[in-house]
Amino acid sequence: MRDISHTKNHRFYDEIDRLCFLSKNLYNYGNYLVRQSFIFENTYRYYYDLQKTLSTQPDYKAMPAKVSQQILMILDRNWKSFLAANEVYKQNPSKFNSRPRLPRYKNKITGRNLVVYTTQAISKRQLKQGIINPSKTGIYLKTLVPTAQIKQVRLIPRLNHYVIEVIYEKCEKQYELEKNRCASIDIGLNNLATFSCRREPKPLISAEIKPKSDKWQTVKIYKSILQQS
């Protein structure tokens, strides 16, 4: 995951703000429909039913369909978490400080909501050039992340800025380790640490500095101890 922050003076701020505002509107509208069904009909409106109902709603249509669907999926997850917690509460209220609350509305004026772009809603043409361009936006971001590894781009509202998260898949490195070589470090009170490993029959005690007196110096000493092994 890679984060990029955008404050009010950034060239993409207004567009990101508009998108998160549309996301909030759609989230609130969907939440209203689900709440009405739950409160007055004692039924839950699942994602597919909700998505079909809202597919002609202006805020839904103002964004790519895949993006609007992600917003409703987030709402669906929030409701399912509430329903699961509510069932546990009914069986054992002592586990909770209070009764689980219905998913809340975002503030009508100041509220903003997450916007998620999957790879299906990101320009493939721009990705080939190493640029992230969420569909139907003027947002262009150069990236050093291998584009084939990108899974999602998220626009996340914060208190006074927005964060663009690039979610990508990174292959796990396989290291050729010697399984018979192992070491242990015991952090001391009077000494920095006691280090022992199979190659050293006698434990090595480091007392060069007091523990926690210098964080970076401590890290350097730990590294030097490990390199000696």
What is the per-residue pLDDT across 174-227, written as a single tens digit (0 to 9) for each?
Answer: 777 777 777 777 776 666 667 677 665 555 555 554 545 555 665 666 566 556
Taking a C-beta distance cutoff of 8 angstroms, is the pair 6, 12 a contact? yes
Shared domain for 141 and 187, answered yes or no, is no
- Which domain covers residue 28, as residue numbers? 2-168
Shared domain for 47 and 83, answered yes or no, is yes
Distance between CA atoms of 34 and 77, rounded to whole angstroms? 12
Shared domain for 152 and 81, answered yes or no, is yes
pTM for the structure as a whole: 0.74
Shared domain for 17 and 84, answered yes or no, is yes
What is the per-residue pLDDT across 46-100, written as a single tens digit (0 to 9) for each?
Answer: 999 999 999 999 999 999 999 999 999 999 999 999 999 999 999 999 989 999 9
Shared domain for 66 and 125, answered yes or no, is yes
Write down the residue that tokens 């320009």 correspond to. 123
Shared domain for 160 and 209, answered yes or no, is no
Decide which of 144, 168, 192 is a domain's last residue: 168
Shared domain for 36 and 125, answered yes or no, is yes
